């Protein structure tokens, strides 16, 4: 069972399945994630140029230009995966229309719609998302993680004249790391497990995801309490400073870190996790770390064969939750 009796550590950050409420409460579960690119990826707003920022970092007042994984690049991919997961697990009956990402055509009564939200259709209501994402910032500078590529696009003839060079979209290099937090508000343990399964199993982000954007999501920990944790930008800055000061690395300045040819994902994960927990202490956040044993067990349950039954039970409660509005 996915309830507070089985997982008492979740009591401060989730609500019981039979106590889902329309009135927001301060029950937060923060899932700490490190996203690692395992192939080239495209994160762009205008279709051509990589999404970048310019931020200050470190005690030396230095700046760097991190690559950005905008919030919608994460939510869009996770939502598509979540809806496909519901179909895979047989959540919809033969007589039902399966839920899609089509605007104003979501079913609005499946766990994914109730948790991630949906826009109002002709006869339906709008549902506010209870899963919060934020823009993620790369640990390293765009000069070392973004690659411009050009091609000549030759024709099919054996002999041909000069061809105009075509610029392809900017590519983020494999090995790029994005620390980030996925935060759930007033979610049930089953909804939390649903997000964990999506996070662990979804492997494609960004544009052209059928060919690019292979990503490994490392779940570094979970933290429950009455508020959200540190922002992605704070975590990234703190992790860069920690890598600079790590006695096991050769970095002397923050620029050495942000301009490095590569960063060890395991070492980065360690410092990102330490940065989050340090923020809890220094900022006085009302958050408590969920034990590794509980996190691992919850992930095992979420990724197990019997999770379809858990999600079906959650759907019944989600429908009751929705009925409170429509009645």
Q: 270-298 pLDDT, tens per residue?
A: 999 999 999 999 999 999 999 999 999 99
pLDDT of 176-229, one tens digit each? 999 999 999 999 999 999 999 999 999 999 986 678 999 999 999 999 999 999
Q: Are the CB atoms for 176 and 138 separated by under 8 Å?
A: yes
Say what the pLDDT of residue 150 is.
Answer: 59
Q: What is the DSSP string of 261-289?
A: S---HHHHHHHHHHHHHHHHHHTT--EEE
- Helices assigned H by DSSP within the chain: 71-88, 111-116, 142-145, 189-201, 232-245, 254-258, 265-282, 292-302, 307-326
**Residue spans per domain, the chain:** 8-326
| Long-range contacts of 49-57, Cβ-Cβ distance < 8 Å, separation of 24 or more | 49/169, 49/170, 50/142, 50/146, 50/169, 50/170, 50/171, 50/172, 52/142, 52/146, 53/137, 55/137, 55/233, 55/237, 57/236, 57/237, 57/240, 57/241, 57/254, 57/258
pLDDT band at 22 (very low <50, low <70, confident <90, very high): confident
Q: Are the CB atoms for 190 and 4 separated by under 8 Å?
A: no
144 versus 147: the higher-pLDDT residue is 144
Say what the pLDDT of residue 327 is.
Answer: 63
Q: What is the mean pLDDT of residues 145-150?
A: 81
Q: Mean of the per-residue pLDDT values for the chain?
A: 90
């Amino acid at each position: 069972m996915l309830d507070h009796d089985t997982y008492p550590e979740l009591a401060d950050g989730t609500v019981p399945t039979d106590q889902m409420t329309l009135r927001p409460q301060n029950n937060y579960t923060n899932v700490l994630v490190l996203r690692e690119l395992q192939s080239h990826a495209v994160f762009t707003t205008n279709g051509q140029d990589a999404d970048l920022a310019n931020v200050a970092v470190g005690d030396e007042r230095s700046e760097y230009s991190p690559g950005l994984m905008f919030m919608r690049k994460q939510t869009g991919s996770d939502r598509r995966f979540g809806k496909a997961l519901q179909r895979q697990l047989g959540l919809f009956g033969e007589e039902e229309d399966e839920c899609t990402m089509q605007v104003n055509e979501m079913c609005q009564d499946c766990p994914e719609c109730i948790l991630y939200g949906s826009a109002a259709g002709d006869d339906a209501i709008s549902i506010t998302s209870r899963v919060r994402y934020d823009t993620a910032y790369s640990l390293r500078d765009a000069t070392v993680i973004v690659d411009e590529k050009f091609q000549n696009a030759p024709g099919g003839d054996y002999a041909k004249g000069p061809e105009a060079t075509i610029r392809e979209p900017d590519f983020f290099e494999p090995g790029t790391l994005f620390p980030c937090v996925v935060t759930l508000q007033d979610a049930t343990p089953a909804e939390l497990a649903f997000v964990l399964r999506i996070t662990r199993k979804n492997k494609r982000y960004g544009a052209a995801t059928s060919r690019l954007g292979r990503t490994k999501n490392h779940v570094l920990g979970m933290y429950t309490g009455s508020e959200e944790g540190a922002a992605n930008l704070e975590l990234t800055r703190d992790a860069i400073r920690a890598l600079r000061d790590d006695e096991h690395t050769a970095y002397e300045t923050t620029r050495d870190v942000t301009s490095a040819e590569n960063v060890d994902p395991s070492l980065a994960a360690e410092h990102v996790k330490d940065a989050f927990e340090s923020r809890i202490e220094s900022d006085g956040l009302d958050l408590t770390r969920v034990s590794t044993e509980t996190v691992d067990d919850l992930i095992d349950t979420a990724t197990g064969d019997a999770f379809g039954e858990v999600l079906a039970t959650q759907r019944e409660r989600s429908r009751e939750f929705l009925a409170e509005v429509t009645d």
